[in-house]
Chains A and B, each alone.
Chain A
Amino acid sequence: MSRKSWAISRREFFKHGALGLGAVLSPSLARLSWAASKERITIYNSSVTDTLNPYNHSSSPIYGIWQHIYEPLVEVAYNPVGYKGVLARSWELKGNRWLFHLRQGVRFHDGNPFSAKDVVFTINRIRTDRNSLQRDNFKDVVGMQAPDDHTVVFVLKQPNAVFLDRVQNRFMVSRVAAEKYGDQVDQRAIGTGPYKFVSFQRGGDFVMTRNDNYWGAKPEIKEVIVRRVTEAAARVAALEAGQADVINNLPVHDLPRLERNSRLRLEKVEGLRMFFLALNPAYKPFDNKLVRQAVNYSVDANAIVKNIFEGSGFVLNGPLGPHVIGYDPGHKRYPYDPKKARELLAKAGYPGGVEVKLYFSAGRYPQDREVCQVVGAQMEKGGFKVELVNQEWAVFWGTSGVNGGKLPFYYIGRGSLVDADTLYDQYFRTGTTKRVSYSNPEFDKLIEEEQKSANPKKRVALLQQAGKILMEEVPFVPLYNLADLYGVASNVVWKARPDEKIWVWDMSIKS
């Protein structure tokens, strides 16, 4: 080849170069100007399901993802707080029976109609599935009937005033599909929801597409991609680069910078997640009340909220936030007093201090690693020697961890808490779960009474009494509620819920 044929005038070089550069940049420029579109929305969430079994978890943000595909009978509405029917049209409490009247004309994604038989099938599966982490919600159910296709009756051991709370977040699967596909049915994820399942990779993307035959209002956005990203910095970077349209758990320290970015906006809501340190009395040294109180005296939640969360949180005075049913303004949290903590430890038989391990799952909650480092340092002053143990979420939360009753001391948050009963029953009542293994007949009795009581005033009084016992016995260290922070592309119209559920059918795109 001669040298000549390579020659190209400078003008030509720039012309072609500019064209090429433009071709390369134009899609990315278009992406920058409109971060989100009606075609597809991408959500980077710190918490995405680990399996396709919809019952193998009990976590608010993951309920939020599943509800795109599967639907519950009822859901919680905020402002004002109350229950709203989804697949149930109405419900009534008759003695120890709960009746649900189902919505008619609802079809599963495979075209089969939704009926009362599916409800009975679903609840039975939740109770018997080996991997189910939701079965304790129905431990009082002694019988279920489907008198016709659109009515379901639950027969309970005794009247239960909080049964709706047990029924929310229980997603209805298809009985017909289960019979047809056997143990492969979860891989198909056939529900009644506004979105249909497309694909899922463990630790990767959860992809859904709009259900055009949905019984309710049709969502505006066609495709949804939910990706698990536990690194806060990575979520923020993706949001700024336009790769993600919505991210959760925005780190507080990035707020000043992100607020200046005109392509983004911030969604802030006072979260319902109640953060605490669980102290399991089944393990030494936490079997001793004095030691548990010593932990309470040595943790300074105010300093954590003020510094680590830069004030964007609310320290609890007791087990509950002020908006929760059963809240008691009369509680006082244990003051930060490391000297008192050391005295109590000495009294409990640990004059030289005691070694404990604090378990957590880094990336699950905002700044959790830092919180645990600070708690560790604070407790050292109170006479404890703290070793931090970070575990993968699936290990931490599963039967080898919290839900197997294997962890003596861990950092956790109970999400979407609107009624004290949820927390008290799940964590502190004898035998409901193994999460804390605390057992107190007096406390159990109060919970039983409260659940039977249809009178709201009486219920609150009973819950407050139960709260007093918890604050004296302290199988936990109450910490704080946090402000939930979301980063959103500026053209996405969406209002964040206080329960960490991100619902794409609630979103629309400003054009």
Chain B
Amino acid sequence: MGVTRYLKIWVGGAILFALVICGLAAPYMASYDPQEQMLEHRLRPPSWGGGRSGAHWLGTDNLGRDILSRIIYGSRISLLVGATTVILAGFVGCFLGALAGYFGNLTDEIISKVTEIFLAFPFLLLAIALMAFLGQGLLNLILALMLSRWVQYCRVVRGEVLSLKERDFVVAARALGGRDLYVLLRHVLPNAFASVTVIATFAMAIVIIAEASLSFLGLGVPPSIPTWGSMLSEGRVYMYRAPWLTIFPGLAIFITVFGINLLGDGLRDMFDPKLRGQR
């Protein structure tokens, strides 16, 4: 019962776990330096697809770099950017959202207006504008994505806090003389945690896609760091001649996002009491 019931969480979690292992153990798993160019071996097809060299499982790119090794190293950037952004945006968003919901009045007005300003811009457009302003770089990338992502947490947490603060146990805690910060941290926020986890998981998938999009546009990390997005971007010129340059990084993005979304879906099912009852 347990396994089938949480199948989504198991599968999604397994994919994410495999990816984390990939990222952490990249130097041991990749058989080549991802930046090493072997011009003589350029545009070799995958070894199982009739390629002459058994050495390159997923083939080589336009400069003779091993695609598998680049995908393995690329997972580091995707995960690093995904996880850091989601955590940072989570902190900022939850903090401001809780303030707005709990204190209401002017605090709420100000924070809500700011979130509305951010929401007025489409997510990717905002990220592109911020990257153009900040310039290339890993830290800038994380910062830009975080700035365009915190709003969602803020809105959800504010809503949760608004309804939670009227509940009896919160009123009781306050009546017993609990200070605001104590009540907020001890009684209100823990109850909003389930929703935040679900948002965070979905946000991670979105951020990974955004990172790939920005790298594809040449606005992400510098070209010396392999990422899935920049692999797609460099490979698209060779789409007809050597489709494996784009297919495999594309698949990597697809599988990662699929896994994380599955996990998020599973978590939502688990936390949502209404859905729990139906199963």
Give the B-binding residues of A (Cβ under 8 A).
232-233, 251, 253-254, 256-257, 303, 306-308, 369-370, 373-374, 377, 387-388, 390
Contact = CB atoms under 8 A, between A and B. Distances in A.
B241 A253 contact: yes
A257 B36 CA distance: 29
Which 5 A-B pairs give the minimum distances between C-beta atoms? A307-B39, A377-B37, A233-B237, A253-B241, A303-B39
A232 B236 CA distance: 11
Contact of B237 (A251, A303, A306): A251
Interface in B194-248: 218, 222-224, 234, 236-241
Contacts of B239: 233
A382 to B, nearest CB: 14
Contacts of B64: 307
Contacts of B222: 387
5 contacts: A233-B236, A253-B62, A253-B237, A370-B63, A387-B224
Given A307-B40, A388-B223, A373 B63 contact: yes
Interface of B: 35-37, 39-40, 42-43, 62-64, 218, 222-224, 234, 236-241
Contact of A257 (B35, B37, B236, B241): B241
Contacts of B39: 303, 306-308, 374
B227 to A, nearest CB: 15
B223 A373 contact: yes
Given A370-B63, A373-B63, A254 B240 contact: yes
Contacts of A369: 234
Contacts, number: 40
B202 to A, nearest CB: 33
Contacts of A256: 241
A303 B239 CA distance: 23
A370 B64 CA distance: 11
Contact of B37 (A253, A254, A374, A390): A374
B236 to A, nearest CB: 6
Contacts of A254: 240-241
Contacts of B218: 390
Contacts of B37: 373-374, 377
Contacts of A251: 237
B35 A377 contact: yes
Contacts of A388: 223-224
A476 to B, nearest CB: 23
A254 B43 CA distance: 13
A366 to B, nearest CB: 11
Given A307-B39, A307-B42, A374 B63 contact: yes
A233 B241 CA distance: 12
A256 B240 CA distance: 10
A370 B241 contact: no
A390 B223 CA distance: 10
A308 B42 CA distance: 9
A106 B36 CA distance: 61
B232 to A, nearest CB: 12
A308 B238 CA distance: 12
A257 B63 contact: no
Contacts of A257: 240-241
A232 B223 contact: no
Contacts of B236: 233
Interface-centre pick from A233, A307, A308, A377 (highest chain B CB count, 10 A): A307
A8 B40 CA distance: 64
Given A307-B40, A307-B42, 17 more contacts: A233-B237, A233-B239, A251-B237, A253-B43, A253-B238, A308-B39, A369-B234, A370-B62, A373-B37, A373-B63, A373-B223, A374-B39, A374-B63, A377-B35, A377-B36, A377-B37, A387-B222
A373 B63 CA distance: 8
Contacts of A303: 39
Nearest to A380: B35
A374 B222 CA distance: 16
A417 B266 CA distance: 66
Nearest to B241: A253
Nearest to B42: A307
A233 B35 CA distance: 24
Contacts of A233: 236-237, 239
Nearest to B218: A390
Contacts of B63: 370, 373-374, 377
Nearest to A231: B237
A432 B238 CA distance: 41
Nearest to A255: B241
B223 to A, nearest CB: 6
A390 to B, nearest CB: 8
A74 to B, nearest CB: 39
Nearest to B64: A307
Contacts of B241: 253-254, 256-257
A256 B242 CA distance: 12
Contacts of B62: 253, 370
A256 B218 CA distance: 29
Interface centre among A251, A253, A390 (most CB of B within 10 A): A253
Nearest to B35: A377
Contacts of A377: 35-37, 63
Contacts of B43: 253
A307 to B, nearest CB: 4
Contacts of A253: 43, 62, 237-238, 241
A388 B224 CA distance: 9
Contacts of A232: 237
A78 to B, nearest CB: 31
A251 B42 CA distance: 16
Contacts of A307: 39-40, 42, 64
A442 B271 CA distance: 82
A422 B37 CA distance: 36
A130 B37 CA distance: 45
A120 B178 CA distance: 90
Nearest to B41: A307
